[in-house]
Amino acid sequence: MVFYKYQGTGNDFVMIDDRENKFDDQNLDLVSRICDRKFGIGADGLILIRNHRDYDFEMIYFNADGSQSMCGNGARCAVAFAGFLGIIEDKTHFLAIDGPHEAVLNQDVVELKMGNVKGITAKNGDSFVNTGSPHHIRVVEDVHNYPVFEEGKKIRYREDYAPGGTNVNFIEALDKDEIFVRTYERGVENETLSCGTGVTAAAIAFEQEKSDAEVKIKTLGGNLSVRFHRNEDGSLDNVWLIGPAKQVFSGKMELSN
């Protein structure tokens, strides 16, 4: 089977054109073997692109361990891949696990419209925001030297997030509209270089004053930006995640069960 590898600010994905529905999406062991960095291709996640009657395409996303959720960087990469396959031109309307999304593709840059967000839940000085995937957010002083893996793992498995768990983001303010974000991702069970739903949640938790905001984000894997509109009841719409998505290589894999 032919596969492609994409990365969106260092969050990397195996991409498969599965418009003929040949990939067994119930075989989660196969997904985790493909994503294994020593015994497989290696990636934070695997994405299938499938046909859908009402949309340009459907994105089926798996974390490296085979679990499923919404993936912002993965969706940006899926849009770039759909452009590469000729399924879309510069604008698209596609379906993901959390519902429909719009996106605009401009060379390597993808602007992705996220789902509406209910609001922010206070968590003892930290925050929680669901942007299609669950995200705990903590503001720290020196994010580069913060023990993201150790602290992230503790929060990920906390009882208040059981049984599903949560992703965990640590953020440092760099300027009035700029933050650095590091994320521990559930389903990868490690820090990734960037997390799209995570930086979106972090931007929403960070910028609580303005009704229309744009936040610049730095991650270990590159730069993103997030803009959104906050309604009077605290809910958010017109939430956009913007950044690069690139094909890095392609190859052929043997599919053995």
Ligand X SMILES: N[C@@H](CCC[C@H](N)C(=O)O)C(=O)O
Contacting residue, 14, 95, 112, 195, with ligand X by CB under 6 A? 195
Active site annotation includes 77: no
**9 annotated among ligand-binding-site residues:** no
Q: Which residues of 37-69 are buried (b: 16+ CB within 10 A; e: fewer)?
A: eeebbebbbbbbbbeeeebbbbbbbbbbebbbb
Contacting residue, 4, 7, 11, 105, with ligand X by CB under 6 A? 11
Active site annotation includes 35: no
**185 annotated among ligand-binding-site residues:** yes
71 sits near ligand X (criterion: CB under 6 A):
yes
With contacts defined by CB under 6 A, name the span among 34-42, 72-80, 115-123, 224-232 that binds ligand X.
72-80
One symbol per residue from 152 to 171: x for binding ligand X (CB under 6 A), - otherwise; what is it? ---------------x----
Question: What's the closest the beta carbon of residue 106 comes to ligand X, in angstroms?
Answer: 19
11 vs 32 by CB, closer to ligand X: 11
| Residue ranges at the known binding site for substrate | 11, 63, 72-73, 167, 185-186, 196-197
Which residues carry out catalysis?
71, 195
Footprint of ligand X on this chain (CB under 6 A)? 11, 63, 67, 69, 71-74, 133, 167, 185-188, 192, 195-198
